[in-house]
Amino acid sequence: MDKDRVERLVAVAREHAAAEARGDMEATLATLEDVPVYEMQPARLRLSGIDAARRCYDHFFSEFLPLAGDSRLKAEWVTEEGLGQEYAVQLRMPDGSAEWHNLIGIFLFGADRLAGERIYASERLFRLMYGPGFDAAVPFSQP
């Protein structure tokens, strides 16, 4: 394991997460490789490319982030391939109700930035997070 590389990319992953939380599109995209890949599991759907990422983040920042209430980091781990985080997220819905959702996100390391993310969540949460981006995702086979 190249410890220096992993430490550098963990810092990039944490900056990515912080930029998402701030709603900063340009800082979020700046942490990604030129052709990021987002995997949505267990649905086995994939989005590729910076334009697809931008479309998803447009929806994420304008529609999803305003719903975000409490969030709790339940676990975090680092491997040579990426930084994993497990969260519980509370959403405040427009009708006044609240929903809790669990997700696992793995920031996948590229050469110098993030190669993308592998996210495990419910279809409902993906639709809330990515809106039309979820509908544009394409199926892929494992692995």
* In the chain, where the domains are located: 3-139
What residues have CB less than 8 Å from 16, skipping those under 6 apart?
28, 31, 32, 107, 114
Question: What is the pLDDT at residue 141?
Answer: 87
The mean predicted confidence, pLDDT, of the chain is 96
Residue 1: pLDDT above 90?
no
Report the share of the chain in percent with pLDDT over 90. 97
Mean pLDDT of 1-30: 95
pLDDT in tens, 34-45: 999 999 999 999
How many residues would you count in the chain? 143
> Which CATH code fits 3-139?
3.10.450.50
Residue 27, burial from CB neighbour count under 10 angstroms (0-12, 13-18, 19+):
middle
8 Å CB contact between 9 and 32: no
The pTM score is 0.93
